[in-house]
């Protein structure tokens, strides 16, 4: 794999330090659940499935000790993959075998999603995406960007939204596309509507951090805006996410906890401040796109067109 966010080495977990990309490729070594929890909190590793995989190995590093679960569960609130992975680990007694299975199954799910999703992508499509839902955000291949990878032979190209304020699009998606030889044009988030109005976008595809039982999908802040714009311009809006991202317990998106991140991410970047001292700031890291704005959900089992509660119920695990 050209891009590997996590490397499990039996007694330690190495995480590609995504804070440093694209300038520097360095790995952070985790030897305890506390190390992994810190790495998730500090954004060394990010992206819903990658967070879940990292947490699973974090449990193994503490030999399945009870404290490990609480530490890891407190690291970030929105991506349900974290809690899904911890629950799986708890049920399996925190074994290395289970953590490896979580990792392997995520990679397999992404490859399956890629195959399903590629069928929705027309020849030569110009695909707009937001944040980073690629190999960096998963065990490999990616979800939204995995569909793009799987459709590469169709001569597609990517339009990567910068993704203010944390710049996952500019720093990570643009970098991943370069690694894979996928044509990519970087734009700031506020350019999306203009490009759509000029007929320069064929479809939108994004990942998700948590999908409620009715199909409402939480993803990186700015996703909802893109879904509204896509509807206005009659463009397909797809959400690609494995079943580990579905939260069938939550009836709709209003119950999804939205992480609020530090004000410093909005008032400046890496030590440089451009906003006046004392200004009030909001920094919600995610928003919720209502199911009615989603053309289709793509998961490892296939495609759910026009997602709603009834259609999603078929995906739910038996009670
Ligand atoms: O704050 P981040 O970088 O962890 O947010 C990531 C996203 O919003 C991704 O789109 C989502 O986790 C899907 S990753 C396959």
Tell me the pLDDT tens digit for each residue of 31-58.
999 999 999 999 999 999 999 999 999 9
Tokens at 268, concatenated? 């400046």
The pLDDT tens digits of the residues spanning 292-302 come to 999 999 999 99
Q: CA 79 to CA 52: how far, in whole Å?
A: 8
Alpha helices per DSSP H over the chain: 33-41, 48-61, 66-73, 80-91, 96-118, 144-150, 168, 174-180, 192-197, 223-232, 264-267, 309-313
48 CA → ligand 1 middle, Å: 5
Fold of 117-313: Rossmann fold (3.40.50)
pLDDT confidence tier of residue 230, bands split at 50, 70 and 90: very high
Q: Which atom of ligand 1 is nearest to the CA of 241?
A: 15
pLDDT of the residue at 80: 98
Give CA angle at 31 (29, 34), nearest 5°. Answer: 105
Residues having CB within 6 Å of any atom of ligand 1:
46-49, 79, 131, 133, 137-138, 143, 168, 207-209, 219-220, 285
Q: Is the model's pLDDT at 254 over the cut of 80? A: yes
Report yes or no: 241 and 208 within 8 Å, Cβ to Cβ.
Answer: yes
The pLDDT tens digits of the residues spanning 131-157 come to 999 999 999 999 999 999 999 999 999
53 CA → ligand 1 middle, Å: 14
Q: Is the model's pLDDT at 1 over the cut of 70? A: no
> What integer is the mean pLDDT of 226-233?
99
pTM of the model: 0.98
Phi-psi map region of 275: left, alpha, beta (phi>0 left; psi -120 to 50 alpha):
beta
Report yes or no: 134 and 142 within 8 Å, Cβ to Cβ.
Answer: yes
pLDDT of the residue at 246: 98
Quick one: DSSP state of residue 51? Answer: H
Question: How many CB atoms are located within 10 Å of the residue 297 CB?
Answer: 25
The pLDDT tens digits of the residues spanning 280-319 come to 999 999 999 999 999 999 999 999 999 999 999 999 988 7
pLDDT of the residue at 266: 98
Nearest to 286 by CA among 203, 205, 225: 225
Q: Is the model's pLDDT at 122 over the cut of 90? A: yes
Percentage of the chain lying above the pLDDT 70 cut: 100
Whether 209 is catalytic: yes
pLDDT confidence tier of residue 3, bands split at 50, 70 and 90: confident
Q: Which of 163, 208, 227, 238 to mutate to test the pocket of ligand 1 (most atoms within 8 A of CB)?
A: 208
pLDDT of the residue at 64: 82
Q: Where are the domains of the chain?
A: 6-107, 117-313
The closest residue, in CA terms, to atom 6 on ligand 1 is 47
CATH superfamily name and code, 6-107: translation initiation factor eif-2b, domain 1 (1.20.120.420)
Percentage of the chain lying above the pLDDT 90 cut: 97
CA 273 to chain centre: 28
Q: Which atom of ligand 1 is nearest to the CA of 285?
A: 1
- The residue annotated as part of the active site, out of 106, 209, 216, 287, is 209
The pLDDT tens digits of the residues spanning 79-120 come to 999 999 999 999 999 999 999 999 999 999 999 999 999 999
Q: Is the model's pLDDT at 171 over the cut of 70? A: yes
218 CA → ligand 1 middle, Å: 9
pLDDT of the residue at 150: 98
pLDDT of the residue at 190: 98
Question: How many CB atoms are located within 10 Å of the residue 169 CB?
Answer: 26
| Mean of pLDDT over the chain | 97
């Amino acid at each position: 794999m050209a891009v590997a966010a996590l490397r499990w080495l039996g007694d330690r977990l190495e995480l590609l330090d995504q804070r440093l990309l694209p300038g520097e490729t360095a790995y952070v070594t985790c030897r305890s659940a506390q190390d992994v929890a810190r790495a998730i909190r500090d954004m060394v590793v990010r992206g819903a499935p990658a967070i879940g995989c990292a947490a699973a190995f974090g449990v193994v590093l503490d030999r399945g000790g009870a404290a490990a679960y609480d530490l890891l569960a407190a690291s970030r609130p929105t991506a349900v993959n974290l809690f899904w992975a911890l629950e799986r680990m708890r049920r399996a007694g925190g074994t290395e075998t289970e953590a490896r299975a979580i990792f392997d199954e995520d990679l397999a799910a992404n490859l399956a999603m890629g195959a399903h999703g590629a069928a929705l992508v027309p020849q030569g499509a110009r695909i707009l995406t937001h944040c980073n839902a690629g190999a960096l955000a998963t065990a490999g291949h990616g979800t939204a960007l995995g569909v793009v990878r799987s459709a590469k032979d169709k001569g597609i190209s990517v339009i990567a939204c910068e993704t203010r304020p944390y710049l996952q699009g500019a720093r990570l998606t643009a970098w991943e596309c370069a690694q894979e030889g996928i044509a990519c044009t970087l734009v700031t988030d506020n350019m999306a509507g203009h490009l759509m109005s000029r007929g320069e976008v064929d479809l939108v595809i994004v990942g998700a951090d948590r999908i409620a039982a009715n199909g409402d999908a939480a993803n990186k802040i700015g996703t909802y805006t893109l879904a509204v714009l896509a509807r206005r311009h009659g463009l397909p809006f797809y959400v690609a996410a494995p079943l580990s991202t579905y939260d069938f317990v939550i009836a709709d998106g209003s119950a999804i906890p939205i992480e609020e991140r530090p004000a410093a991410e909005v008032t400046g970047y890496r030590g440089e401040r451009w906003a006046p001292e004392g200004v009030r700031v909001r920094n919600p890291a995610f928003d919720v796109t209502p199911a009615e704005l989603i053309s289709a959900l793509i998961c490892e089992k296939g495609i759910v067109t026009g997602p709603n509660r009834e259609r999603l119920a078929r995906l739910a695990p038996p009670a």
